[in-house]
Amino acid sequence: MSDLQRKDLSPAWKATKPFLNGGLSGMAATCIIQPIDMVKVRIQIGAKGGPLQVAKDIIAKDGAGGLYRGLSAGLLRQATYTTARLGIFQIFSDMLKQQNQGKNIPLYQKAGAGLAAGGLGALVGSPADLSLIRMQADSTLPEAQRRHYKGVGDALTRIIKEEGTMGLFRGAGPTVTRAMALNMGMLASNDQAKELLEEAGFVKDGQAVVLGGALIAGFCAAACSLPFDFVKTRIQKMEKMPDGSYPYKSPVDCAVKTFREEGFLKFYTGFPTYCLRIAPHVAFTLIFVATLPKLEAKIGL
């Protein structure tokens, strides 16, 4: 490629880079974390025992591959949702920094950018997220109620055929809300933590700053998002009752009924497992996001 061609492509690459790196980072993190996510979903929908026992039960029933059920949907979700949210957050952050004359933006603006990026990204990734939840929960249902999706493509096709196009967005409301909470906790706290670590004397963009920011962001993301994730999971996996109606009329109805009947702490069911799943996924994603540009710079990208 000539220097002129490389120069002509650079604006497009500069615009695409945050989205591409975000998606690749999320997909890599998902491959590492998928078994923990599987256990988390099973606990949320009623599996008995601790995380290790639930994992053993999955392996005993479905084999080791059972821990990776729904991986194709998980990767598609990252290729859509994480590509969008991290790319959009970077764009919003750059715009806010320009308005702030290149200085670090305040925490509330970081939180706003995270909320917006998470919500927009979740809309893009909602169909894949629905497919993932259903594939992970399928073997827990009675045989007559199982959907037996062959993969994410089959899941998406059958949802459209059986429930209409809008069926792809069942549970989109709580999905978007949960994503907004998660990304506010994840992205705002990561940037803020890295700035504080740099002010404390750590090398800018050094390993300690990247790792420290990622770990803090992981915990904040889990703490902010679990109640919304709990409601989202219940909405997405609910089946029709004998009278043809659904147990919950809306995410708000689900939240209210859960609070009244089971108490506030029910929303934090499976928190240790959820934190073990969310925090490492967030940390790995942010570490990969920080590492990829350095590797690309070495080869002139």
| Residue 135 parent element (H or E) | helix 107-137
- Determine the pLDDT at residue 9: 54
Alpha helices in 164-250 (DSSP H): 172-183, 189-199, 207-237
**pLDDT per residue as tens digits for the range 105-135:** 999 999 999 999 999 999 988 888 888 888 8
Taking the C-alpha atoms of residue 247 and residue 231, their distance in angstroms, rounded to an integer, is 12
Q: Which distant-in-sequence residues (6+ apart) come within 8 Å of 3 by Cβ?
A: none
- Determine the pLDDT at residue 6: 46
**pLDDT per residue as tens digits for the range 231-266:** 878 887 788 888 888 889 888 899 999 999 999 999
∠ Cα 272 84 113 (to 5°): 75
- Determine the pLDDT at residue 215: 95
- Determine the pLDDT at residue 236: 76
- Determine the pLDDT at residue 3: 46
Low-confidence ranges of the chain (pLDDT < 70): 1-9
Taking the C-alpha atoms of residue 225 and residue 90, their distance in angstroms, rounded to an integer, is 21
Q: Residue 2 corresponds to which tokens in the numbers above?
A: 């000539």
**Amino acid occupying residue 84:** A
SS3 of 202, please?
coil
Q: What is the pTM of this model?
A: 0.74
Evaluate whether 126 touches 166 at the Cβ level (below 8 Å). no
| Inter-CA distances, 271 with 36, 46, 215, 274, Å | 12, 14, 16, 5
∠ Cα 273 233 39 (to 5°): 30
What secondary structure letter does DSSP report for 300? T
